[in-house]
Structure 1
Amino acid sequence: MQPTPVATTDNILVLGAGELGLAMLHALAGLPGVQVTVMLRPAAPGAASADRRGLLAELDGLGVGVVTADVVNDSEQSLATLFSGFDRLISCLGFVSGPGMQLKLTRAALRSDVKHYVPWQFGVDYDQIGYGSPQNLFDEQLDVRQLLRAQSRLQWQIIATGMFTSFLFEPAFGVVDLQHNRVRALGSWETAVTVTTPQDIARLTARILFDPERLNRVTFTAGDTITYRQLADVIDQSLGRQVERLVWTLPVLSAELAAQPDDSMRRYRAVFAQGKGVAWPKAQTYNAQRQIETTGLQGWVDAHLRCV
């Protein structure tokens, strides 16, 4: 059964309308007793693109309100003032917003009157990975958790999802290279990774958000948890081909990162190759325990790669 909002009108502000943000807006907009607003960056004067006009029309059709703010250039106090007009705040602004932004948004939420905050932590188990990992952006995520855990005014929820399923197939990531018919394992073929689609993340967040048992704690979800061997097997079987299988060992990835320490993809490869905090059993997740269906690797491949 879908948990329902407890307030007569629950005002929710979603930060960002990218891939996850837009999915979140669709998941929330139809809930009873909820008013959803999205925060977008201001458009440059006279520069409303066709994409922007299309987005605004889509949001209007969903009944989603729009406010504008610039998380990079606006002050924490300015953001806090904006956030104070809402009951709940969900950040769908990821690392692309730049270093320091996750902390800035969290401090603004703490300075505001908002009651409930879901930060951008839709990823790995940062607590298990710990400080000093190959991906330096992860340290900031631990700082965010420390800020939230050190206070009691603002209720919070952290939702761990693993990586976006599609990221496994991102050419720049280099794990699945269909153009050259290759699959590369990070670390080893038995290294595991948890993946979830943005649509499932949004659907699950819309449930977890109103679940009082999930307040002030980390909730684990998963579309699927697979090894890189299973990934290669699914591609072979589904696409009727035999991919070349290569292993990016941790020493090799560490050396590549040392040669180009500012390369974000090399940072991601190295941290996922360690295999720590990047996977958890699907059977132990929120969605599995509540028998909520999610898209597994096979379903994603069937939907997106059949014609490749």
Structure 2
Amino acid sequence: MNNTPILVLGAGELGMAILRNLAKRAALFPGTTLTVLLRPSTINSHDPSKLRKLDELQSLGVRFLPSDLATDSICDLSRLFKDFHTVIGCTGFVAGRDIQLKLARAVLDASVKRYFPWQFGVDYDIIGKGNSQDLFDVQLDVRNLLRSQERLEWVIVSTGMFVSFLFEPSFGVVDLTQNMIHALGSWDNAVTVTTSEDIGALTAEIIFAEPRIVNRIVYTAGDTVTYAQLADIVDSVLGRKMQRVEWSVPMLKDELAKDPGNLIKKYRVVFAEGKGVSWEIDKTFNAQHGIEVCSVKRWAQKNLK
């Protein structure tokens, strides 16, 4: 991968993790350059937190490319992307529901050689269309578009849920204020999770892997746990017994029906239904390559006490 210009779209939690790890790997491949696409307002910001991020990126040797993904057209983005060999999407849906399909089309129009779309999540193929979280339908549209062509190489990295989101108060699974654990669907339902730091490290390894990974889904997992195992972990780490309450699929669907635009309630139903949200660790890239990752228990030990 010498002399390879790489563009990362966005520098949020995941984008920064990927850029940090890419910078380490790129140093081993002469001529490989890293660029991050940022809004002009971010590049020109005087906000201390943004300035610290910009300083870190510059220290990593990352160049800045100004663009607003929400307002720039497919044609505009295609002109920006055409100078890059590899594009990595790290923006999520912050720029709107249709942004991922827009980016995939711009990448194709630009004749980019390799694309890692924002698919850092669950197995959308198994979940299928028409589920409670309509954003997942868009992810399937992106997959179908990439699979329908042959000139662009693509790689999808399926990571499961971010570990931190499993403990996010708004998600409601681990509710420390109420001393309660909620199981989505049943206590035997499982969920696969990976930390953003591990996703960054593993994505960098996948990008530079030899032989090159082409046109396939690569699975990662920091851990795969049932909600019963999660409750045991939290009890053990905190040294106290949490209350355990099961949220059934019918109850969660009823809650969503009362508030159909609520993104969190949409996610709860999908994870409660239990399809495509977990996989065996043995099938993952990190397990097959002996790469150490952070488990749910280790994350909880670092962050809950």
Give the shorter-chain TM-score range: over 0.9
Q: Which amino acid in structure 1 is aligned with residue 199 of structure 2?
A: I
2:131 to 127, 130, 133: 133
Distance 1:278 1:141 in 2: 14
C-alpha distance in structure 1 between counterparts of 2:203 and 2:140, whole Å: 20
In structure 2, the residue matched to 1:249 is 248
Which residue matches 1:184?
182
Give SS of 1:127's match.
helix
Write out aligned runs for 1:98-109 (5 A): 98-109=96-107
Measure how far apart 1:55 and its partner are: 1.4
Task: Check whether the contact 2:43–2:54 (CA below 8 A) recurs between aligned residues.
Answer: no
Change (3 A) 1:45 1:97: closer
The yes-or-no answer on 1:284 pairing with 2:283 is yes
| 1:47 positional shift | 5.0
Q: Could you tell me the percent identity over the aligned residues?
A: 52
Query: Using a 3 Å threshold, how does the CA distance of structure 1 residues 204 and 47 change in structure 2: closer, same or farther?
Result: closer
Question: 1:129-173 deviations in whole A, cap 9, x for unaligned?
Answer: 000010000000000000000000110000100010000110110
1:238 counterpart letter in structure 2: V
Match of 2:23 in 1: 29
Counterpart check, 1:94 vs 2:97: no
Q: Does residue 16 of the first structure (1) align with residue 14 of the second (2)?
A: no
CA distance in 1, matches of 2:213, 2:121: 17
Question: Do the aligned partners of 2:42 and 2:50 also contact (CA within 8 Å) in 1?
Answer: no
Query: Are 2:43 and 2:64, in contact at CA under 8 Å, matched by a contact in 1?
Result: no
Tell me the SS of whatever aligns to 2:129: coil
TM-score by length of 2: 0.96
Aligned to 2:154: 156
Q: Is the 8 A contact 1:135 1:271 kept in 2?
A: yes
Rounded to whole Å, the distance in 2 between the matches of 1:271 and 1:228 is 15
SS, match of residue 95 in structure 1: coil
Where in structure 2 are the equivalents of 1:231-242 lying within 5 Å?
231-242=230-241
Q: In the alignment, is the contact (CA less than 8 A) between 1:85 and 1:113 conserved in 2?
A: no
- Verify the 8 A CA contact 2:237 2:300 in the aligned structure 1: yes
Report the alpha carbon displacement of residue 113 of structure 1 after superposing the two structures with TM.
Answer: 2.5
Q: CA deviation at 1:29?
A: 0.7
Deviation (angstroms), 1:275: 0.3
Deviates more, 1:50-59 or 1:188-197: 50-59
Deviations 1:238-283 (A, max 9, x none): 1101000001100000001111110000000000000000000111
Residue 208 (structure 2) pairs with residue 221 (structure 1): no
Matched, 1:262 2:261: yes
Secondary structure of the residue that 1:96 maps to in structure 2? coil
Q: Secondary structure at the match of 1:219?
A: strand
Q: Deviations over 1:166-222 (max 9, x none)?
A: 001101100001111110000000000000001111111111112345210111110
Count of residue correspondences:
300
Larger mean CA deviation between 205-214 and 96-105 belongs to 205-214
Query: Where do 5+ consecutive residues of structure 1 fail to align?
Result: 1-5
Give the aligned residue type for 2:287: A
- Displaced runs of 4 or more, over 6 A: none
* TM-aligned CA deviation for residue 46 of structure 1: 7.1
> 2:195 & 2:45 partners in 1: Cα distance?
32
When normalised by structure 1's length, the TM-score is 0.95
- AA matched with 1:231: L
Q: Name the residue aligned to 1:111.
A: 109
